[in-house]
Amino acid sequence: MGETLFDRAKTRLDEATKYLDVEEETVVRLKAPKSVLQVSIPVRMDDGSLKVFQGYRVRYNDAVGPTKGGIRYHQSVTLDEVKTLAFWMTFKCAAVGLPFGGAKGGVTVNPKELSLLELERLSRGYISAIADSIGPDVDIPAPDVYTNSMIMGWMVDEYSNIKRAYSPAVLTGKPIYAGGSLGRDDATARGGFYCLEALKERLRLGKGTLKVAIQGFGNAGYHFAKIANDAGYRIVAVSDSKGAICKEDGLDPESVYKFKQQNRELKAAYCEGTVCEVVDHKRITNAELLELDVDILVPAALENQITKDNAKNIKAKCIVELANGPTTVEADNILAQRGIPVIPDILANAGGVTVSYFEWVQNKQGYYWKLPKVHKELKEYMEDASVEIFNIAEKHGITLRTAAYVSALRRIDEAVKSKGTERQFHVE
Ligand code: GLU
């Protein structure tokens, strides 16, 4: 009651402490963000009027390294949400063993209502407002919901102008010719796919063709559909904010994507070259998609989609969380009781920030990797983390989510301890 998203997120931390001998100081530090910045961003609109947007940047914890996390543009962005997303980033980076702490940014705006020029002015305005609190060794933003490489290109340009120095390592997810990394575009989806492949047998998902339903057809959802389809999985349903499409014998993700680019509409299509033809399919709601009888359910949109109300109706054999926070705490308990494994967000969608880490390393070295190297390194990170987390879950008889938090907390605790805690200074 009166509980915020942030309060609920922190219960996962409390749960993890039961399985680890962790310093009191670590837990206390992880209960509140390191810093919260709220800014007003004045933007000159195309009609000459002035609009002021609210923006946030939360640095949650930097025990492990500089803070890292995306920037979200959405009309429902609030400080509570950004704080929670920054908390999740802290655990995500630690769960896969990246040398980063966690942060997140957001602007309360519906980007679909802005022209491209207004969007550019807003993006530059946001960076100018937070420029003093970010930096290649301090806090490193990236894309998130409704931001992309084009926006990162404007932002890194703005930051470099302010600093009067070429500073590509301040931001990741940049366009390739602005210092981006190959393979960053589909990294979130690819990472989730590598997790699924690494755990498929351990989770006993069967050997036949696996049926997949994906909620969300943005960067993560579309790329997951394409990668899984190419690997022989059958994509039976995908959705966007307006609804879902379903085709039992499988959709062709690339054609659906092409059709959506051309017509701004989600329809089952088949394209040859640029010519697309709509094929037979069913239209269902986003809520119905979540309850489809499939092997793998992939929430790849926003928070709080699987709740106590629909968790009992989920028929999928496994859930792969490409979105951040799609499952509520209550729903998690129901799914655990029903024996439906969830590959949790802080593991399943960590591929994005992992390739962001590679991008940052490449920027710092001025030496750029070929795509096979990016894929190989990403695979290694995701497989190692997946197996480690699976083993922790088996050992304690806990969910993969709690195990991921345990694994992350252990690393954060080591980082806190290595800087000195009361226990070290306590003379008996
Ligand atoms: N926004 C992505 C996430 O939630 C990527 C963050 C990053 O690359 O820093 O993980």
pLDDT at residue 424 in the model = 74
C-alpha dist (Å) from residue 231 to 87, 190, 196, 208, 224: 33, 11, 12, 12, 11
* pTM metric for this prediction: 0.96
Residue 310 token pair: 């629909």
Bridge pairing between strands 282-284 and 296-299: unpaired
Please tell me the number of Cα atoms within 13 Å of 211 on its side-chain side. Answer: 15
Tell which atom from ligand 1 comes closest to the C-alpha of 70. Answer: 1
What are the chain's domains? Answer: 33-169 (3.40.50.10860), 187-348 (3.40.50.720)
pLDDT at residue 96 in the model = 98
- How far, in Å, from the CA of 183 to the mean position of ligand 1? 14
DSSP state of 168: G
DSSP state of 185: T
Q: Find the length of the chain.
A: 428
Q: Are 171 and 157 in contact (CB under 8 A)?
A: no
Spell out the residues 6+ positions from residue 109 whose beta carbon is closer than 8 angstroms to its own: 53, 73, 74, 75, 77, 122
Residue 26 CA to residue 17 CA, distance in Å, equals 10
pLDDT at residue 427 in the model = 58
Per-residue confidence in pLDDT tens, the chain, 428 aa:
479 999 999 999 999 999 999 999 999 999 999 999 999 999 999 999 999 999 999 999 999 999 999 999 999 999 999 999 999 999 999 999 999 999 999 999 999 999 999 999 999 999 999 999 999 999 999 999 999 999 999 999 999 999 999 999 999 999 999 999 999 999 999 999 999 999 999 999 988 999 999 999 999 999 999 999 999 999 999 999 999 999 999 999 999 999 999 999 999 999 998 899 999 999 999 999 999 999 999 999 999 999 999 999 999 999 999 999 999 999 999 999 999 999 999 999 999 999 999 999 999 999 999 999 999 999 999 999 999 999 999 999 999 999 999 999 999 999 999 988 777 776 56
CA-nearest residue, atom 8 of ligand 1: 353
- Testing ligand 1's pocket by substitution, the residue of 356, 358, 359, 381 carrying the most ligand atoms inside 8 A of its CB is 356
- How far, in Å, from the CA of 428 to the mean position of ligand 1? 44
Residue 367 token pair: 């030496």
**Strands of 234-240's sheet, edge to edge?**
282-284, 243-246, 234-240, 211-215, 296-299, 318-320, 342-343
Q: Which helix (H) or strand (E) holds 107?
A: strand 101-108
Tell which atom from ligand 1 comes closest to the C-alpha of 172. Answer: 8
Residue 110 CA to residue 112 CA, distance in Å, equals 5
Tell which atom from ligand 1 comes closest to the C-alpha of 355. Answer: 8
First to last CA, the chain: 44
Q: Are 85 and 104 in contact (CB under 8 A)?
A: yes
The 10 Å CB-count burial string (b at 16+, else e) for 242-256 is eebbbbeeebbbbbb
Residue 165 token pair: 């120095």
Residue 191 CA to residue 380 CA, distance in Å, equals 10
**Residues belonging to the active site:** 104
Residue 381 CA to residue 184 CA, distance in Å, equals 15
